[in-house]
Amino acid sequence: MWHRGAPMTADDAERRLRPPPDGWPVRVSTRSTHGRGVITTRAVGAGATCEVAALMLLPDRSRVEGFDHVFDVAGRSGVAGGVVSFANHSYTPNCAYEIDPDALLVTLYALEDLPPGTEVLVNYNGDPDDRRPVWFDQG
């Protein structure tokens, strides 16, 4: 069984992309802090996976400055094929994501217990404790 942070085989990646039988516990909503965002559809325990999404790398010359739905994948830009791309930013997030650049996956997981209907917030800097201003907070 694969665990967060461990190397992943193609079979592991395939298994990780499959949602649980009752689906991922998150969805896109128009009722969030900034209009569109991600909310939980049921209770999610701290450390639990909210979603695993595939990443598509963009060509090196793609212009993505100011586009906050792009992930840093080992120095390249990647777009996630899931709801994680709609998560809003917070310097006090309740969720985090982990990028696996080899498997081209992003795993969204809860940092704390989340009741149903909670907005999922991540730190766009990648590290939940990173307080450096993100692009839209820079003067």
Joined tokens for residue 16 = 């990780």
How confident is the model over 57-75, as a mean pLDDT?
72
Tokens 């696996």, residue?
100
* pLDDT at residue 7 in the model: 64
pLDDT in tens, 20-58: 999 999 999 998 878 889 999 999 999 999 999 999 998
Is 139 within a domain?
no
pLDDT in tens, 88-116: 889 999 999 999 999 999 999 999 999 99
Going from the C-alpha of 1 to that of each of 12, 15, 115, the distances in angstroms are: 8, 10, 27
Specify if 3 maps to a domain. Answer: no
Q: Which residues pair with 35 in a beta bridge?
A: 32
Domain tally for the chain?
1
Query: Which residues lie closer than 8 Å to 12 by C-beta, 6 or more apart?
Result: 2, 103
Alpha carbon 47 to its chain's center: 13
Q: Is residue 5 part of a domain?
A: no
- What residue numbers bound the domain in which 81 lies? 10-124
Q: Judging by beta carbons within 10 Å of its beta carbon (0-12, 13-18, 19+), is residue 125 exposed, middle or buried?
A: middle
Q: Is residue 97 part of a domain?
A: yes
Entry pTM: 0.84
Q: DSSP class of residue 44?
A: B
21 forms bridges with which residues in the sheet? none
CATH code assigned at 64: 2.170.270.10
Residue 24 lies in a domain: yes
Position 132 in a domain: no
How many angstroms from the chain centroid is the CA of residue 87?
7
Is 72 a domain residue?
Answer: yes
**pLDDT at residue 2, as a whole number:** 43
